[in-house]
Structure 1
């Protein structure tokens, strides 16, 4: 696939859901073996005049590359591994001659604060994980290396095919037409909302599967009034919401409002082609009316306004909640404990439903939340491309399945240790297709290492292990990916039309506007007059919303 030398480690990457590496140059002066590396001062034209690049050439002598990153609670380790010393860092050294040195790592919750402190101090490593705003700020201050020519010289055909499956997502890393970072591409469709319902309760109460918004209302009412858990107590909830219902992926209202063709906190095109803020559109008011009616009837948790995701998840686990809008990962995250605790519990995921005769269309976001950028002072900025190519080999059609870089035999997600993490836009949906086929044929030989890991867990579930129910209901069938697959086949989804960095007025006023929005919507659901929505719209416009709308549309004209 365009790589002259295929290393043993890189060849073993398998189609692990890799979080590829953005390590870029270092501050030592070692030259790449066989190639003259562009220096920090190289201009695009000078870089373009270099001899043909060898994307896989190993540095000899080795170089040091510095970086920073965050870690998450989902990171697990075994065999003495750490984020600083693991199968990836060892492979970078042995296969590429790159010694990865972390300047710092912090939990994701502390990342943005630490990032801003380091940027303010001018303490930049070779490789940086950045948000869109920080990418723009550093580029505006001429602190980043322009990767445009390096990408053309070093990125292999495989790498380019993966990163540019979603061209719109890839282009978010460009500023004034120049590639200033590698975007952490992922799948937009993975984030589309679905409706999760306890089907054992549906069967017990003689209810049909939901096809309309009226069905959702009927199900919610029955789940509250007809004692689906059979304990003779009025202690069940009709529809689950968190206090962060406008933004929460699980127990949120994105899928619900889409049923009214409304898209709160997203930017959508109006009839003239301009971008408008979804939260101030008329359909939102209709959705709030229904939620208010449900609250009055006791179909929502009276305390939803103070409960976070963990608290609502407890209601699922304890068998008190049987319906909510959520993401594709819900079976493995927020539903699994309920199925483990209750041998009779069964859930199914459905497409979102409409409140009228027009089909409901879910909305997602352009799937780039992170960028991998290179300091302009880096001595080996091309190293990011070598690390990127190394990781992308795991997605090659001939990549071996028994990779040490994906999910370990004990279930540890080793792929999270990788520094740069672009993924194919349809990686997980394709995994679903491949796994379903393998289950049907009882032949997993063509699966990647990551897919084989999911396959094995589904086989365990089919053998009676209910602790693996969640994996079966994500990647098997029936599953959340069955629903997402139908969205894709029908071309029935849209994406947030604004994916740029924060505009000047957003920086100054967006937080207060969003707080006002959340407070007003919560109060309306809990019984405040619907006329409050009209006042909110007027206030939003007056307090900065009109300025933000103008800035967003100015951005859109440049795209």
Structure 2
């Protein structure tokens, strides 16, 4: 019995030992399996992290070396921002750091701007830029005005060489745009074969037009004009018959600047163009010599005609006292029915008048087309004294960002029919000022104005399928069509149609193009302030009758004696050396 009991105990012990051995083995296998699994997971995690890192590196490389490659992480660049009046007419709630342009750039490129300062173009902005240059503390990206400031930055070694990034990070379309202006534009930003900036492009705006209140013409039972003389008689009738109806109708509006140029309002540039004159520009005369356009006999003739208009009451009798804001108010209150303006005058200043009185029917007239065409054939020098250039701070890790910006905003959004750019293109048709863009430049074909209008008109005429329009053209087409159908009655709708279709259409029919330009390099051709003031004072005195017309000859003598002679010789020498 004892032996049997011992045997049973021993057997139980052996079973227990065997079970323990089996259990330990299982535990060992389980731990080993777990260890192997953990090692496998770690290996896979490391492998995944490595693949993700490699993917990010590839994406970053592509972003830095292609026009539209998107950065894997948001790139923020500091910016000196040129602001516009009235917050650039941005929709309510939009800012310079959060608007259609910035949202599009964030989506397409994953970049955003952080504005160091936001100041209006003019003395305030230029002073801020000058201080930044003197302190050698410029933001990552900056728009500078004038080639002289660009050269300052290059000589100080403060900005990046953008030669390579231009080649790699601008689209073929952007390159075509710059090429449409010839070699001189990019050359103005090039020193020793290196490109240091992206220049603004100034598309052909054509000649200024005379904008008249057509509803007043009809009200007074007059015939629409076909010549300048007929148009001026209409303006006389506006004044003499008091078209405004309260005894306060003024004549042709005129700024004290007299020559408004391509980007200002209320000048009387057309009076000079019709006389064959090109004041405020360096030009080639009939002998092929350089002359300043403000001292020619053609300019004297134009001033004589303006003097007669003033004496006859056709030119605003109080123009010497008017500021821009005052003339704006005269348009809004319906006391002025005649201004000279470019094709974009409906956007600014006429849209404000239309908002007050939509029955005020402003119509553009291009008169004496043959003389305008002849004057536009005069060769005009471009010295890039007032040109806009975008530069990148030396040492900034993403100098390519400017090239990518230009490619996205001026090619992808405009010409690639990118559906996500609809909000950007709608800004044009609702009259948002271009200063709303982070960088206040424009890059487009030299003849972009004409080809765009041609396409829009063709789509309205149903000779071109709407699907063939670019994003910008489609936006204008929709607005113009809605305006014509009576579905859109806002000032912006009228302005889009009146500018793009009516005004540009007049220029197209007449084949009017801007004057021929010649590059003028290696010389400071800017007119000194003293000579500018001498010129402006003489012009105003002659037009207002304070001085006789022949005083112009005295002005010319004084102009040459006070530095004009030496300046003309310098420009002539620069022109001659540039021909070699």
The answer, yes or no, to whether TM exceeds 0.5 is yes
Query: What root-mean-square deviation, in Å, do the aligned CA atoms of Structure 1 and Structure 2 show?
Result: 3.6
Task: Give deviations 1:241-296, integer Å, cap 9, x for gaps.
Answer: 12122236322121110100001111211123332111000011111111111211
Unmatched runs of 5 consecutive residues or more in structure 2? 1-54
Q: Decide whether the 8 Å contact of 1:56 with 1:96 is kept in 2.
A: yes
Match of 1:289 in 2: 304
Match of 2:395 in 1: 377
1:185 is paired with a residue of what secondary structure?
coil
Match of 1:108 in 2: 121
Match of 1:274 in 2: 289
Cα pair distance change 1:360/1:76, threshold 3 Å: closer
For residue 67 of structure 1, the aligned residue among 79, 89, 93 is: 79
Match of 1:403 in 2: 422
For residue 140 of structure 2, the aligned residue among 126, 129, 134 is: 126
For residue 550 of structure 2, the aligned residue among 519, 531, 538 is: 531
Cα pair distance change 1:224/1:190, threshold 3 Å: same
Task: Give deviations 1:20-45, integer Å, cap 9, x for gaps.
Answer: xxxxxxxxxxx9934998xxxxxxxx
For residue 566 of structure 2, the aligned residue among 547, 553, 557 is: 547
- CA–CA distance in structure 1, aligned partners of residues 342 and 433 of structure 2: 23
Task: Give deviations 1:42-94, integer Å, cap 9, x for gaps.
Answer: xxxxxxxxxx9444444456554333221112524558543224454455455
Shift of 1:436: 1.8
Q: Decide whether the 8 Å contact of 2:208 with 2:341 is kept in 1.
A: yes
Q: Are 2:472 and 1:450 equivalent residues in the alignment? A: yes
Match of 2:578 in 1: 558
Cα pair distance change 1:408/1:246, threshold 3 Å: closer
For residue 57 of structure 2, the aligned residue among 15, 25, 33 is: 33
Match of 1:47 in 2: none
Cα pair distance change 1:500/1:238, threshold 3 Å: farther
Pick which of 437-446 and 509-518 moved more.
Answer: 437-446
Q: Decide whether the 8 Å contact of 2:104 with 2:420 is kept in 1.
A: no
- CA–CA distance in structure 2, aligned partners of residues 324 and 409 of structure 1: 23
Higher helix share: 2
Cα pair distance change 1:32/1:294, threshold 3 Å: farther
Match of 2:19 in 1: none
- CA–CA distance in structure 1, aligned partners of residues 291 and 538 of structure 2: 20
For residue 198 of structure 2, the aligned residue among 158, 173, 182 is: 182
Q: Decide whether the 8 Å contact of 2:429 with 2:496 is kept in 1.
A: no
- CA–CA distance in structure 2, aligned partners of residues 80 and 304 of structure 1: 38
For residue 437 of structure 2, the aligned residue among 410, 417, 440 is: 417
Cα pair distance change 1:284/1:408, threshold 3 Å: closer
Q: Decide whether the 8 Å contact of 1:267 with 1:498 is kept in 2.
A: no
Task: Give deviations 1:219-244, integer Å, cap 9, x for gaps.
Answer: 3333322344455x4x3333221212
1:33 is paired with a residue of what secondary structure?
helix
Q: 1:340-489, aligned counterparts within 5 Å?
A: 340-342=355-357, 344-353=359-368, 359=374, 361=376, 369-391=387-409, 392-400=411-419, 403-407=422-426, 411=430, 413=432, 416-419=436-439, 421-441=442-462, 444-464=466-486, 465=489, 467=491, 468-476=493-501, 479-487=502-510, 489=511
For residue 156 of structure 2, the aligned residue among 137, 141, 145 is: 141
Q: Decide whether the 8 Å contact of 1:32 with 1:58 is kept in 2.
A: no
Match of 1:236 in 2: 249
1:406 is paired with a residue of what secondary structure?
helix
Q: Decide whether the 8 Å contact of 2:277 with 2:375 is kept in 1.
A: no
- CA–CA distance in structure 2, aligned partners of residues 180 and 369 of structure 1: 14
Q: Decide whether the 8 Å contact of 2:206 with 2:507 is kept in 1.
A: no
- CA–CA distance in structure 2, aligned partners of residues 284 and 118 of structure 1: 40
Q: Decide whether the 8 Å contact of 1:400 with 1:448 is kept in 2.
A: no
2:116 is paired with a residue of what secondary structure?
strand
- CA–CA distance in structure 2, aligned partners of residues 305 and 439 of structure 1: 44
1:385 is paired with a residue of what secondary structure?
helix
Match of 1:42 in 2: none
1:405 is paired with a residue of what secondary structure?
helix
- CA–CA distance in structure 1, aligned partners of residues 260 and 412 of structure 2: 35
Cα pair distance change 1:352/1:111, threshold 3 Å: farther
| Normalised TM-score (structure 1) | 0.79
Shift of 1:540: 0.7
Unmatched runs of 5 consecutive residues or more in structure 1? 1-30, 38-51
For residue 530 of structure 2, the aligned residue among 496, 512, 521 is: 512
Cα pair distance change 1:143/1:273, threshold 3 Å: farther
- CA–CA distance in structure 1, aligned partners of residues 497 and 103 of structure 2: 33
Q: Which has the larger radius of gyration?
A: 2
Pick which of 512-521 and 144-153 moved more.
Answer: 144-153
Q: Decide whether the 8 Å contact of 1:237 with 1:320 is kept in 2.
A: yes
